[in-house]
Structures are given as structure tokens and as C-alpha cells.
Structure 1
Amino acid sequence: MDISNLIDLLYLVSIIVFIIGLKGLSHPETARKGNRVAALGMGMAIVISLLAPETSGNNNYPWIIGAMLIGGGIGFVSSKKIAMTKMPEMVSLFNGLGGACAMLIGIAEFGNLPQGADMMSGAVLTNIFAMFVGAVSLTGSLVAYGKLNGSLRDNFTLPAPQIINLVSLAGIIALSVMIMTQPELNMALVYALLGLSLFYGIAFVTPIGGGDMPVVISLLNSVTGIGATGAGLIYGNNIMIIGGILVGASGVILTVMMCEAMNRSLVNVLIGNLGASGGGSGSSREEIVKEVNISDLAIQLKYADKVAIVPGYGLAVAQAQHICHEIESALESEGVEVRYAIHPVAGRMPGHMNVLLAESDVDYDKLLELEPANSSFPSTDVVLVIGANDVVNPSAKDDSASPIYGMPILDVETAKNVVVFKRGMSTGYAGVQNPLFFGDKTKMLFGDAKSSLNKLKDEIANA
């Protein structure tokens, strides 16, 4: 067996290991192991690529190893220091960096085209594709990062975003055609295409409201995978092609699932028409807030038969997931059945709440998805809404003027009692008021979620 065949065989092994790892990521109980296995597969692919014979005759190992040490060091330190609440921002940056790699590869390969190369070729089309997709992923991810960390507000947008997006796409197609129909490479057109692609990434994400960021993150993750596929086609690297296809395909599937969870179409996502923040038409409910104290709530929980917990981003911000699990254990020791109701887009990225609760060793079997949770609420004695807002907002069902109208929600109103843990009466991430707070069966427990849950845990123990 010659060296090239051996390399291809080893690539195949690494791809199989990577796919096994991705399979493990499909279930929270095996996600950590799957992540390690997928990392092993990618590590194998990197080592194989380094051992593969070079065709250029240049020794680039010092540059490669130096870049790996710098990038690996940054990644290691970031992963150690990053808080769980900041994980969506980190994912956005990773997406953007992956896109930047594909973009730079596309630009570099334009410079490597031989003199007099045929512009109407698959190689040129692949370069254009990788550069465009990578540029959109880069700037789109940076805008998503800004929206997630609050440095870019939802009211920061462009006029007539749909028209701008469609015109930009038309310009990108026109420039691509012009590049390929030139008698020789015209780098001015390439750079014009690069600039317009970077702008489109900004124009695409800017009009999207903060409440829709889970969909955006999933879509950008898919775009990055597609960019990696383009880069793999440029270099004829099978592991990059297959890895990119897997990431791109899984991202598309997850995007479709997120769109269904928010009752939005994928077409609207692609033209930048996801719901931005805004107010609804208001609520006919009398806005009277009823509060509950810790002692009364502890007694109510202790003598309940069924309790449901609805976690949201506020739970992550307060770092209160561990105490929440302790309360769950305390109530179960009293014979209370405790379950968690998880909305598909709760938090700031897909699966955010699942990851948060897994960190606290919550049994996966206790996590109820949207439909099973809604079926269980009528027989639930108390629902604790901790840091969630938009995913339990009844305006999504009965206020046609609301920007979240039509989004499937957790129908906590159908439970016998609802207690909302919240710092104040501010709106949620979508920027709309929640009529649930003024419901007949709703009571508010104001304060920091971690502090309130700590007091509630102690009160349950002493009740």
C-alpha cells in the first residue's frame, strides 16, 4: 500500500470516529462522551494531514505548529474561563472564525491561479463559493455576538432590510458571473465581491431580533459547515468535505426545527425577516401583580403532588441551576414529583437549558419537551418559572399585534398555580410585556433567582 492510499484509509477511520462522536451528541446522556470522541476524530485528521506528503515542496510546519499552539492556547483558556451564560457568544465567535478561514482560503486560492487560467471553471466557482459563504458567516456571527452580549441593540437596523438583502444577493450573483466571464482574473471584482459578501452578512443578521438568536446561531453554524466544505473542495481534502457536510446538514436540520418551534419559515430566515423586538397591542388583563413570600411557597411546594420547573436565561445568568437541582431533590424526598419543562428556544442558543441542567446532573428523563410539558400542566399543582419570559408569554396565542404571535409556548397558565421568579417587571428578550404576570393564578417572587432559590431551599428543609 502506497502512502497516498494509507493516508486515505486513515482519513476514513477519522471520519468514522467523527461520525460516531456526532451520534453521541444527539442525546444529553451521551453528549459529553460524544464530544470527546468527535474531538478525537478531528485530532486524528489533523495529525494525518500533518503527516501527509507535501506536494508544494515547501516546509510549512513551523507556521502550522505555531498557529496551532496560538489558536489552541486561546481556545483552551477561553473554554476554561467562559461562563455558561456566555456560551452562546462563544459559539458565535467560533462560527465566525470558521467562516473567516474559508473566506481567507478562497482569497488565497484566487492568488494561486496560474497565469491565463480558464475563469469559467469549477476551481474558480469553488473559490467564489468558499469566499462568499465564509464572509457571510464571519460578519453575521460578529453581529450575532454583538446582539447576544448587548453591545448591539435590536433597534440598530438598516432601512428596508428585505430590499437591501435581496439587492445585495443580486449584486453578489452579478459579480460572481462577471468574475467567471472575464478573459483573465480581475482581482478588483474579487475584492468587490468580498466587500459585498461581508456587508451581506451584516445586513442579513442585523434586522433579526434578539429573541430569534437561537435560529440565527443554528443557521450560521450550518453556513460555517458549508464554508468548510468549499475549502475542502479547493484542496481536495476529504475530511474537510465530509466534516463540513455533516456540520452543514446538521445545522440545517436544527435550523428547521428551531423555525418550527418559533412558528417561522426558513424562507423568512434567509431573507432576514425574523421578528425583531417590538411591542404588541397590549393586554386586556387588569395589570395587578400578586406577590408570594418564601414561607408560603415552601409550604405550597412541600405539600404539592406535582411540580414543574420552567428554566430560562435568567436561571443561567444567576448561576442557580445547582440550587434548583437541590430543591428538586428536597421535594422528591417529600414525595413530590418534579419535572422540568424545556422550550426548544429557551435561552440564547439551541439546547441551552438542556446543557445548563446537565451541568447540574439533572436526570434527562425529567426533562419534558414542549408538547409533553403542555399536556402535563393541567394536572400540575405548581409551576415555577425561573428566568423565563417569552417562552411562557400568552401574547403568542392571543395578541396578533405581538411580534411573537404564533410562536408555540409553554402553556403554564393551565396549571393550578404559577410562581414567577423575576428581578422586576422588565420585558423579556423579545421586548414585549408578559400578561402571564397579571394572571389570576400567577404570583411573583421578586429578587435574584439564586438568592431566592437558596432561601426557598432552606425554608423547605425547615417547613
Structure 2
Amino acid sequence: MIASADITTYLASPKLADAGYLLSAVLFILGIKGMTHPRTAVRGNLLGAVGMLIAVLVTVVRLGLLPVGLAGGAMAIGAAIGWVLAVRVQMTEMPQLVALFNGFGGAASLLVAGADIAQRESLVTVVEKVADKVQPVAPNFALLAAGAAGLIGAVTLTGSLIAAGKLQGIRLVDRKPPAGMQFVSGVLAVSSLVLLGLMVAGYAWAFWVLVGVAAVLGITLVQPIGGADMPVVISLLNSYSGLAAAAAGFLIQNNVLIIAGSLVGASGLILTNIMCKAMNRSLANVVFGKLEPSAEGPSADEVYEGKIKATSPEEVAMLLDGAQHVVIVPGYGMAVAQCQHTVRELADELENRGATVEYAIHPVAGRMPGHMNVLLAEADVPYDKLKTMEEMNPEFSQVDVAIVLGANDVVNPVANTDPTSPIAGMPILEVDKARTVVVIKRSLSPGFAGIPNPLFAADNCLMLFGDGKKAMVDLVAAVNEN
């Protein structure tokens, strides 16, 4: 018979722990690889979740820091909260949830660093971990890693809370910032670096001051940024949470935490760069600038007066009756209306009549990367029908009808025609080249850039005003009757 103590000793052996961490790292990499394609995204997500479960179990057993019952109870509570959020949060609120998750990641790294600081016997020595199972690290490097985790983690936490609040429309955080906010951010950033230097010099007490300063810095950095840039900010904060986790991993010498944090940090930076290119803006412009209409730009009255042609579902149904190539351009309005299933119904009906139906997806449509792809996948739209901006733009001149559903800035032609526009040079979906454009929108209100869209007043454009879901339901009914 093998004694339970022998089993515990075997499970806590460094070699078995390293094997478990290696398996977790492999699952993380396979998970990210799987999430690059909708057909494998669910499997990739599950692989990543299993990898994290293994990493947590290995850490609990290896260090023996918590009783098994307490650790299991904590994991059960966390799993229950995650399940409720996954089931109850609407797809339109998913960007807010992602922002909160980023904040939780930063908070976790911050707590790990704080716990390490609290264990110190002096300012320049590191307490050995439980039963000498983790070798102590050099004091100065440990303080540097703790300071980095605290600094980045605190910025990520408060910045993510502000981002989530702005997306949710909470007035307290969504109002215009006071003058001089960027100057305050600069002062706080310099102060954070000074405090980090004090930590490296051996003053561990500076950690707690650093965390407080960094928490305020996260607020002052994100609060002035406009709603149009929130997808980029969320991606950047996601990268921050990974960097904070990697710093915490160096602090406690946990290989899987270093690997996972590096993966998240690198992928977040790559995604941020892709999104900045899709908006034709630099990261510095996103962080320190805002999309604002210029004083010289035309007013909405000048662009729209006497040129808007309203239409009805019945008239659009007649247009679609003879169309051979139809392109649907989804935007945030589709997410708000939750009408992706009705969109699929319309596409199925048109395809049954011999038309070719495709979907043109802009990289920053919606409020987070892949927002439209997720919504359409939820409606079982075949992935090969989702076309990128680069694939679709050369084809628009051959499109009979382009249906724009709740998109605005990403189809605004002034990006190509007006060099003084705040979105000048931004790559757009060139729907204005289609033979007929039908825009489904509640009103002529501007997008996040705050500028009118000449597409709505174009000769080949018809405006179908109303709620996105009701308009699509009426349009499907009119097509069936026609």
C-alpha cells in the first residue's frame, strides 16, 4: 500500500510540477492558435481553460499553501461566477465584460506582488517560500518585478474599470474630462518611475505608494479617451494584464505564469497594432488624442438638407427581388438590435432565389475586435461568407445592393475624400461604389467621430429608418410577400 503522505510528496515533486506547467503552456499556445479561426475557436477556448485549470491545481499541490477543501471551494465559487456572467451578459455588453476581465487580471498580479512584499523580513532579503520549495530570488530583482507587477496591475485595474464604465454609458466616467488631465497623467507617470527606482534601491515600502499612484494614473490615462477608441484601449489593457502577470511570474518564479503572461502581452500588443492600422492612427494618437470634428467641417444640415431619400421595407424588397449580388455590412447597430438571426433569415431567402449574399466585416466594426464575426457565428452564418475589407472593397462596384446595418464611421467616404476630416485616411468599406446602398439606421445621428456621413445623402443611397430588428423583420416579411 502507498501511504497518502507518499502520494502527496510525489504530487508536490518539482519534476511533476514542471511537467504540469509545460502541459499548461502547450495548451495555452494551442488555445490561442485555435481561436484564430471561428471553426476552432470554441475548442481553442476550452483548451486554454483546461490549461489554466491544470496550472492552478499544480500550483496548489506544489506549494501546499491552501487546504484542498478551501482551494476547491474558491475554484467552485469562481467557476460559478464565470458561468453566470457567460450566460447572462448580453453580446452587446461583451466589451465591458472583457474590460472587467482585464482589470481582474491586473488585480490578481497586483495581489501576488503585494503578498510577496508582505512576506519580507527586511527591505533587502527575501523570505524563502514554504518548505524551501521555491528558491529565493535576488532582492533587487524581486523588488523590481514586484514593482512592475504592482505598477502595471494597478493601471490595468482602474483603467479597465473606467473603460467598462464608458462603454456602459455611466455618466460619472463618461463625461468630458477637466482641462490638464494629460499633464496630471505625465506627472503621475514620472512619479511612478521614481517610486519604482526607490523599490529597486531596496525601499519595499515604496510599493504601496506606487500602487496608489498607479491606480490614479490608470484613471487619468483612460478617462479622456473617447468611446470610438475603446476597442483599442481594451486591447491595450489586455496586453497590460499579460505583462503584469509575467512580472508576477518572475517574482514568484512560476514558469507557467511567465509564459501565459508573455503570450497575452504579446498578442494584445499585436492586436492593438492591427486595430490602430485599421483606423489609420498611431497608438499615441489614440491614447493622447480624440476623434473630434474640425471646426471647418460641414454641418449635418449642409450635408443632408434636401438630399435624404427615405424608403420602406416593401421598396427595398422590390430592389432585392432582382439583385444577383447582395452584401450585408453589419455594425454596432446590429449588436444593439440583436438581429443577427433575422439577417441570416434574409440571406437564406435571397440565396434560395439565386442571389449571392456575402458579409463585409470592418476590423473595428462594433466595440471589440471580432464583434461582428461572433454575432454572425452565433446565427450560424458560414464563415466563408464573411469577407474582409481587403477582399470586399474591389468587388463593391459589382454589387447590386449593399445593406448597411447600423454602421457609420467605417463606411463614411470622407475618409477617402477629405484630408481635414478626423477620420482622414482611415480604411473604410467602400459601399458607396455599390449600385444601390440601403442604410438601416434609427436616425441621422453621427458615429463616434461626431461627423456627418455624406453616404446617407448620396444619389444611390436609400435610408430605411427604424429599429434594426424591427426593420429586418419587416424586410424579411416584405421579401417573402414579394
Smaller-chain TM-score bracket: over 0.9
**2:314 pairs with 1:295:** yes
Aligned twin of 1:108: 115
Listed one character per residue, the Cα deviations across residues 195-229 of structure 1 (whole Å, up to 9, x for unaligned) are 21011111111121111111111111111111111
What amino acid sits opposite 1:26 in the alignment? T
2:101 aligns to what? 94
* Alignment of structure 1 residues 27-42 onto 2, 5 Å: 27-42=37-52
The alignment yields a C-alpha RMSD, in angstroms, of 2.0
Query: Which residue of structure 2 lines up, in the alignment, with residue 341 of structure 1?
Result: 360
Say whether 1:449 aligns with 2:468.
yes
The CA deviation at 1:146 is 1.0
> Hey, what does 1:20 align to over in structure 2?
30
> Structure 2: which amino acid aligns with 1:254?
L
Counterpart of 2:5 in structure 1 is none
**Mapping for residues 184-223 of structure 1, pairs under 5 Å:** 184-185=203-204, 187=205, 189-223=206-240
Q: After superposing the two structures, state which structure 1 stretch, 87-96 or 151-160, moved more.
A: 151-160
2:402 corresponds to 1:387:
no
Distance in 1 of aligned mates of 2:420 and 2:404: 25
Residue equivalent to 1:156:
176
Q: CA deviation at 1:190?
A: 2.6
| Structure 1 residue 180, shift from structure 2 partner | 2.8
Structure 1 residue 171 corresponds to structure 2 residue 186: no
TM-score, structure 2 normalization: 0.90
Residue-by-residue CA offset, 1:121-157 (whole Å, 9 max, x unaligned):
1000000000001001101101110111111465522
Cα distance between partner residues in 2 of 1:224 and 1:437: 41
Distance 1:47 1:120, change over 3 A: closer
Partner of 2:259: 242
Question: Is 1:324 aligned to residue 343 of structure 2?
Answer: yes
Matches of 1:29 and 1:337, distance apart in 2? 22
User: Would the aligned equivalents of 1:212 and 1:274 in 2 still touch at CA under 8 Å?
Assistant: no
**Which aligned pairs between 1:1-16 and structure 2 lie closer than 5 A?**
3-16=13-26
Contact 2:140–2:201 (CA under 8 A) maintained in structure 1: no
Cα deviation digits, residues 389-409 of structure 1 (max 9, x gap): 111112323334433232211
Residue 43 in structure 1 maps to residue 53 in structure 2: yes
Partner of 1:69: 76
Of stretches 200-209 and 344-353 in structure 1, the one that deviates more from structure 2 is 200-209
- Whichever residue aligns with residue 261 of structure 2, its letter is G
**Matched residues in 2 for 1:78 and 1:265: separation?**
34
Query: Equivalents in 2 of 1:203, 1:373: separation in Å?
Result: 39
Give the equivalent residue in structure 1 for 2:298. Answer: 282
Asked whether the equivalents of residues 158 and 203 of structure 1 are also in contact (C-alpha less than 8 Å), the reply is: no
Which amino acid counterpart does residue 19 of structure 2 have in structure 1? L
Segment drifting more, 367-376 vs 283-292: 283-292
**Matched residue count:** 455
Deviation at 1:110, TM superposition (A): 1.5
Amino acid at match of 2:368: M
| Conserved? CA contact 1:419–1:445, under 8 Å | yes
Shift of 1:277: 4.5
Residue 201 (structure 2) aligns with: 181
Partner of 1:121: 140
User: Is the 1:390–1:430 Cα contact (8 Å) retained in structure 2?
Assistant: yes
- The one-letter code of the counterpart of 1:109 is D
**Cα distance in 1, alignment partners of residues 421 and 70 from structure 2:** 54
2: distance between equivalents of 1:60 and 1:251? 35
Gaps of 5+ in 1: none
* Contact preservation (8 Å) 1:120, 1:181: no
Counterpart in 2 of 1:377?
A: 396
Mapped partners of 1:108, 1:286: distance in 2: 60
SS in 2 for 1:332: helix
Kept after mapping to 2: 8 A contact 1:210/1:276: no
Tell me how far 1:246 sits from its aligned partner.
0.7
TM-superposed CA distance for 1:16, in Å, is 1.1
Letter in 2 for 1:301: L
The Cα shift of 1:428 comes to: 1.6
2:446 maps to what in 1? Answer: 427
Look up the equivalent residue of 1:176 and give its one-letter code: L
Q: Tell whether the 8 Å contact from 1:316 to 1:356 is kept in structure 2 after alignment.
A: yes
Q: What's the offset of the Cα at 1:102?
A: 0.9
Asked whether 1:354 is paired with 2:370, we answer: no
Contact 1:154–1:276 (8 Å) recurs in 2: no
8 Å Cα contact 1:302-1:336 kept in structure 2:
no
5 Å-filtered alignment, 1:396-415, equals 396-415=415-434
User: Does 311-320 or 189-198 show the bigger shift?
Assistant: 189-198
Counterpart Cα distance in 1 of 2:451 and 2:13: 62
Task: Give 1:62 shift.
Answer: 4.6
Secondary structure of 2:403 counterpart: strand
Structure 2 CA distance for aligned equivalents of residues 111 and 142 of structure 1 = 26
Work out the CA distance in 2 between the residues paired with 1:380 and 1:168: 53
* Rounded Cα–Cα distance in structure 2 between residues aligned with 1:350 and 1:336: 29
Answer yes or no: is the 8 Å Cα contact 2:144–2:199 preserved in 1: no
| 1:143 aligned partner | 162
Secondary structure of residue in 2 paired with 1:443:
strand
Contact 1:343 1:409 in 2 (8 A): yes
Identical-residue share of aligned pairs (%): 45
Compared CA separation, residues 230 and 449, structure 1 to 2 (3 A): same
The answer on whether the counterparts of 2:304 and 2:454 sit within 8 Å (CA) in structure 1 is no
Does the Cα contact within 8 Å between 1:311 and 1:388 map onto a contact in 2? Answer: yes
Name whichever of 125-134 and 202-211 sits farther off: 202-211
Matched, 1:273 2:292: no
